[in-house]
Amino acid sequence: MSDKNSYQPETVAVRAGSEHSQFHEHSEALFLTSSFTFDSAQQAAKRFIGEEQGNIYSRFTNPTVTMFEQRLAALEGAEQCVATASGMAAILSTCMGLLQAGDHLVASQSIFGSTVNMFNNVFKKFGVETTFVSATDPAQWQAAARPNTKLFFLETPSNPLTEISDIAAIAAFAKQCGALLAVDNCFCTPILQRPLEFGADIIIHSATKYIDGQGRVLGGAVLGSKKLMEPVYSFLRTAGPTMSAFNAWVFLKGLETLKLRMDAHSANALQLAQWLEKQPNVARVLYPGLPSHPQHALAMKQQKTGGGIVAFDVKGGRDAAWRVIDNTRMLSITANLGDTKTTITHPATTTHARISPEARAAAGISDGLIRIAVGLEAVLDIQNDLARGLGN
């Protein structure tokens, strides 16, 4: 396997982690089995005490899940990957494995809504406090750190404004504070951004998004050094938010086309963003691949492309934004992203509706803001679908 890991990313995505059974199947097999048998009582005993490697029970390990973990680890350049039932299960397992009561977390205020809820409402109950800071101002991270700060947590680009966090700068502060840096790499995937290369310690994925890429199943992953993943895996194996074998099989196949899809999503998104910038009823376009993006240079240092997410402000506030959404005929009105089908979302009244209007305004999420997760349809058709409601 290790020789396969030195290949180019598109080769790794197709070849790494692939193991065949006694039947020499060419495509990775789906092992739908909850448990595994042993040749003898002695072998069972050896497996249980860890004297012999091998599968015991699918909450611990499953060959299809292991193939997925090895392939994603090779793509991220990580020593180990732990697959989980969802992206949220990845965040839960990371924190349950690495934190304890009395620890403190510093997190970007521009992270996924359920992650904010988890930090504010779940971990708080167990004595872990979180301070939220600006995604784009590294100095705030250092200022927020306390002697008991154990983890820095960020997402870049952020949702929905595509703000870019400086991974290397924040990783350096984390190191100074004796804390770990976890990066949710869901929007970029390892094809566009490899956070470990910029000093991050842990990578989180919602595989539900681009890794599946076709909106079928939920899954997640945590990646890092063997040492850091040991307590994460230990929690997962005991508590049980593990990835199902079926979902791992879907994700393995998803990884094989990830490079092609991310390149195509990115090319479509750039073209759409350039077109949106020319529309008279669009006040501003936020896309990291556009030179007009406030952090374009940093984005291009960390990412290979601008990615697949474009946000824009329509002139005329909520009514105008809803008019654009309601006049589409092809785009999917949904909050999901990372799909072959283009999705359109009005963050102020859906994903970010529970935040107070003042906090939303302070964060820059205006009533006229629309988020597009650009799919793989022809850009011309996406443009025509948006043009109707834009009144051109």
Judged by the rule CB under 6 A, the positions of this chain that interact with ligand PLP are 86-88, 112, 114-115, 155, 159, 184, 186, 206, 208-209, 218, 220
Nearer to ligand PLP, 66 or 115 (CB): 115
SS (H, E, C) 249-270: HHHHHHHHCHHHHHHHHHHHHH
Q: Closest distance between ligand PLP and the C-beta of residue 207, in Å?
A: 7
Q: Closest distance between ligand PLP and the C-beta of residue 39, in Å?
A: 38
Nearer to ligand PLP, 155 or 339 (CB): 155
Q: Measured at CB, which residue is nearest to ligand PLP? A: 87
- Asked if residues 68 and 2 have their Cβ atoms less than 8 Å apart, the reply is no
Nearer to ligand PLP, 115 or 303 (CB): 115
Nearer to ligand PLP, 208 or 303 (CB): 208
- Relative to beta strand 343-345, strand 369-373 is antiparallel
Nearer to ligand PLP, 89 or 390 (CB): 89
Q: Which residues 6+ apart lie within 8 Å of 22 measured at CB?
A: none
Q: Closest distance between ligand PLP and the C-beta of residue 91, in Å?
A: 7
Strand arrangement of the beta sheet that strand 332-333 belongs to: 282-286, 309-314, 369-373, 343-345, 332-333
Q: Closest distance between ligand PLP and the C-beta of residue 87, in Å?
A: 2
Q: Is the peptide bond before 160 cis (omega within 30 degrees of 0)?
A: yes
Nearer to ligand PLP, 70 or 189 (CB): 189
Nearer to ligand PLP, 90 or 320 (CB): 90
Q: Closest distance between ligand PLP and the C-beta of residue 337, in Å?
A: 6
Q: Which long-range contacts (CB under 8 A, 24 or more apart) does 319-325 make?
A: 320/281, 320/368, 321/346, 321/348, 321/367, 321/368, 321/369, 321/370, 322/346, 323/389, 323/391, 324/370, 324/386, 324/389, 324/390, 325/370, 325/389
Q: Closest distance between ligand PLP and the C-beta of residue 127, in Å?
A: 23
> How is residue 214 written in tokens?
């076709």
Q: Closest distance between ligand PLP and the C-beta of residue 69, in Å?
A: 16
Q: Which residues 6+ apart lie within 8 Å of 375 measured at CB?
A: 265, 268, 339, 340, 341, 342, 343, 382
- Asked if residues 75 and 190 have their Cβ atoms less than 8 Å apart, the reply is yes
